[in-house]
Structure 1
Amino acid sequence: MVCSVLEEMRIRSLGVIDDAVVELSPGFTAVTGETGAGKTMVVTSLGLLLGGRADPALVRIGAGKAVVEGRIAVPAGAAAVVRAEEAGAELDDGALLISRTVSAEGRSRAHLGGRSVPVGLLAELADDLVAVHGQTDQQGLLKLSRQRQALDRYAGDGVAVPLAKYSEAYRRLRAVSTELEEIVTRARERAQEADMLRYGLEEIAAVEPRAGEDVELAEEAERLGHAEALSSAATAAHAALAGNPEDPEGIDAATLVAGAHRALEAVRSHDPALAALADRIGEIGILLGDVAGELAGYADDLDADPLRLAAVEERRAALTGLTRKYGDDIDAVLAWAEQSAARLGELDGDDERIGELTAERDALRSELGGLAQALTDARGRPPSGSPPR
């Protein structure tokens, strides 16, 4: 049988212990030391992890609280694992992480698998996790649950098989009952959540935003708001590159580059190095011509329509109304809408889900009764190979 194993404990500000880590290796581990070294505090720490009473007098003098943390490896499917997961705990590589904090004022907190839990839950799991042997500590065999477990193990598969079926049905019944109770008891909250989601989705649908639309409109608004400055700059740049027809005496870059190119072309045959420079200047002339043409087209196409600018700003205001409520940008708003639509579908399906869960719960109760009777009958039969009564 695979048992739970306490792998490590960390103790801080408990009794004579300031900060210590107890690492337990596989097999037998002996903790020794002189009187007052803290051996008793190690056992006390274990008791706190197992839901023992928290005594504020145990907190180290000068400390605000004592903390005990433990790591217990547990086999998959163990009763302690099932109960811990029902409480919302999560395993860490097959181990349960348990923490207990005791303040100097007497307050006590417990955490199991990353979730805050009642101290009573640790006490409930204690018998399945650790056995403490001592003069008066070992009382496990007096408990009916331990006696039944011992007898069930002795009976073998004759009891193990129906017990496994019963346990599985019981776990499913608890899960179904918990979900059903959560839906029913939180009906008002869920209705309010559905109304809020429905309102948000209707508001977004009324605006009909497109992905990336806010970015596109911001760029267009910036361009329209500075249309005159952009047009003036493009015209001036075009005149500097290609010349201004209204100023025939002006000197432009294209004319200067063309003159330089002609000068080098006349003598390029005398030196290959100069010929290469002439080719590069020719490429510059072509590039200047292309840029000048694009600048002319840009200036002609630039829209300075104030009505369009007003429409863009109005549309941006509508989109901003959405981003203030539902996301940092329109893409985030659309993501919220998608998630909210899915959530709304779940909430609107509560009535149907309640009916499904109620039917499943009733069926499981009926099935559980039959499995319980089969388990009782199996426990009443002598195990195979046992001597006759």
Structure 2
Amino acid sequence: MLKYLSIRDFVIVASLELDFSSGFTALTGETGAGKSILLDALSLALGERGDGGMVRAGCERAEITAEFDIAALPALQTWLDEQELSGDEGVCLLRRVLDVGGRSRGFINGRSATMQQMREAGEWLLDIHGQHAHQSLLRQDAQRDLLDAYAGLGDEAAQVASAFRVWQALDVRCRELSQNAAAVAAERELLAFQKRELETLDFSAEMWQETQSEYARLSHAASLLETAEFGIEVLNEADSSCLAQLSTLIGKVEAGSAFDPALGETLQLLISAQAELQEAVYGLRHYQRRLEADPQRLRELERSIQTVVDAARKYRATPEELPQVQARIVTRLAELGGDAEVDELQQHAAQARETYLLQAGHLSVQRDRAAQTLAQEISVAMQTLAMQGGQFAVALNALLEPNAHGLEAVEFQVAANPGMPLRALAKTASGGELARISLAIQVALSEVAHVPTLIFDEVDSGIGGRVAEIVGQLLKRLGRRHQVLCVTHLPQVAAAADAQWQVNKTSRDGITFSSITVLSAAQRVDEIARMLGGIQLTDTTRKHAAEMLGYAA
């Protein structure tokens, strides 16, 4: 539950520190004193959107810190551990800083946290019921969500929505294939032909390189033979060939070395050169014998190269890109699938539909059971909220087409007076009746809620007298199971509280400040009297206030 709240420079609050206790606490004060600022600050601490206008005039930033006791919330502690946001055992500390430029930062247990993480933590900690909650009560989607929340069917509803999306995705795919069957068949036939064509081509980068090299060699065979013959002639067969002249030179140098040993090194170099030139002659003769003009093979290579070039031009690619083209064709064929795959897809779609209908049917049974219980509970509450003889019902109307929310539309119905037929809440209830029914529903939901702290922001607007007294008792009853805070303008509601805080607004030097005072027993009498009698307090109003407090206790 909420243990401590610190507010700094927020709207008209300069500095405020509050310690909270269990039970039912009422927040009262003059109209416009800023009673809802406390709730706005808590909402900000729990990750709600904020803007620079929330920073108190003349200040750089606002800061909200809220401390919660989470000893009874093991699921939250586990979540904090998973998010690496754990702090002291049994404690969750939320802090939000908002600067005048609208930028904000959030912290959980002193560690930086995203707004999403702060909102997720807040879902375990606190529920705020606003005074305009009954306005959304007219929408059928809100009515469905309220029923599911009352019955604890959030997970089941999410599973049904997920099953519906799976079914619809498969169903759409099946319809697309059926509607485009002719086009798909034509595309599949073309792709299959192209696949066979490229497979027959049997192209590979290595073979393409070898083919080009062989073609280049054969197409220049005459020139290459001429080059080899010229080399042999120059080196060995001409009258003044290199080897003949080199042999004569070697003989002379060898003879000279007998008289001067210094020519020995030169002689060795010449002998080495002679050996290498002789090897070159052998190599050219071997090349000459191996290289033969082969016109037939050359024509074969020309046809092979032309086939590859034509295929590349057809598929608007270079020859080297043909393997990638073939891979894309194979991939697309796999995407289109064959008739067997279409049949399999239809089977999957049918199975997905059966799964959805099974889960949705189970959800419908649980909703029907919860609808009867909720209707009975609200009908009983209506009798105590100045709607004697009224009846509340939750109708589950079968849909012509199932949707992500199930097989039925949820409709809240009411007969505000005895003998009147049940009709849709949106068409029959007045504003005051809506407010009371909304309160009854919120109380019913709060009874089954696992959130430890419940805050009601003037949900008692539009009621008074004996009904207000009953509302106070309802909130007091809730306070036995939850920590309850209620912003109220009704003395009957405030009198039922276990504790009462007064919100005051003052002005100093033209600057407005808001503060909160925890009222003593005597101060509560004066505050209740003020709420009863207005500005001028009398002994009569004080006596009435004391009696009201005593009766509520």
For normalisation by structure 1, the TM-score amounts to 0.53
SS at match of 1:304: coil
Q: Does 1:359 align with 2:347?
A: yes
- 1:252 alignment partner in structure 2: 242
Q: Offset of 1:254 from its aligned partner?
A: 7.5
Q: Offset of 1:178 from its aligned partner?
A: 2.2
Distance 1:364 1:239, change over 3 A: same
Match for 2:361: what amino acid? Q
Q: Offset of 1:310 from its aligned partner?
A: 2.2
CA contact 1:173–1:365 (8 Å) conserved in 2: yes
Q: Offset of 1:226 from its aligned partner?
A: 2.1
Alignment coverage as a number of residue pairs: 260
Q: Offset of 1:252 from its aligned partner?
A: 0.8
- The partner residue of 2:155 within 151, 156, 161 is 161
- 1:90 alignment partner in structure 2: none
SS at match of 1:179: helix
- 1:333 alignment partner in structure 2: 322
- 1:105 alignment partner in structure 2: none
Match for 1:251: what amino acid? S
The 5-angstrom pairing of residues 209-288 of structure 1 reads 209=203, 211-241=205-235, 243-244=236-237, 247=238, 249-252=239-242, 255-256=245-246, 259=249, 263=253, 266=257, 282-288=271-277
- 2:459 alignment partner in structure 1: none
CA contact 1:258–1:285 (8 Å) conserved in 2: no
Distance 1:384 1:310, change over 3 A: same
- Say which structure, 1 or 2, has more relative contact order (CA 8 Å, 6+ apart): 2
Q: Offset of 1:378 from its aligned partner?
A: 4.2
For 2:214 and 2:115, the matched residues in 1 are separated by 62
CA contact 1:213–1:330 (8 Å) conserved in 2: no
- 1:372 alignment partner in structure 2: 360
- 2:6 alignment partner in structure 1: none
Distance 1:355 1:199, change over 3 A: closer
**Rg comparison, structure with higher value:** 2
For normalisation by structure 2, the TM-score amounts to 0.39
The 5-angstrom pairing of residues 281-360 of structure 1 reads 282-326=271-315, 328-344=317-333, 346-347=335-336, 349=338, 351-360=339-348
Q: Deviations over 1:178-228 (max 9, x none)?
A: 221221222122112122123223433554445433333332232222221
Percent identical residues: 23
Q: Deviations over 1:40-69 (max 9, x none)?
A: xxxxxxxxxxxxxxxxxxxxxxxxxxxxxx
Match for 2:286: what amino acid? G
For 1:374 and 1:324, the matched residues in 2 are separated by 61
Gap runs ≥5 in structure 2: 1-45, 51-95, 103-113, 118-134, 375-444, 450-476, 479-553
Gap runs ≥5 in structure 1: 7-25, 33-72, 77-138
The 5-angstrom pairing of residues 1-389 of structure 1 reads 28=98, 143-145=139-141, 148-149=144-145, 152=148, 158-209=152-203, 211-241=205-235, 243-244=236-237, 247=238, 249-252=239-242, 255-256=245-246, 259=249, 263=253, 266=257, 282-326=271-315, 328-344=317-333, 346-347=335-336, 349=338, 351-379=339-367, 380=370, 386=448
For 2:447 and 2:275, the matched residues in 1 are separated by 102
Match for 1:367: what amino acid? T
For 2:294 and 2:234, the matched residues in 1 are separated by 27
Q: Offset of 1:334 from its aligned partner?
A: 3.9
For 1:338 and 1:209, the matched residues in 2 are separated by 12
Measured on the aligned residues, the alpha-carbon RMSD in Å equals 4.5
Distance 1:315 1:362, change over 3 A: closer
For 2:365 and 2:169, the matched residues in 1 are separated by 27
Q: Deviations over 1:344-370 (max 9, x none)?
A: 355451x22222222222222222122
Q: Offset of 1:173 from its aligned partner?
A: 0.9
Q: Deviations over 1:123-161 (max 9, x none)?
A: xxxxxxxxxxxxxxxx87765445655665676xx4233
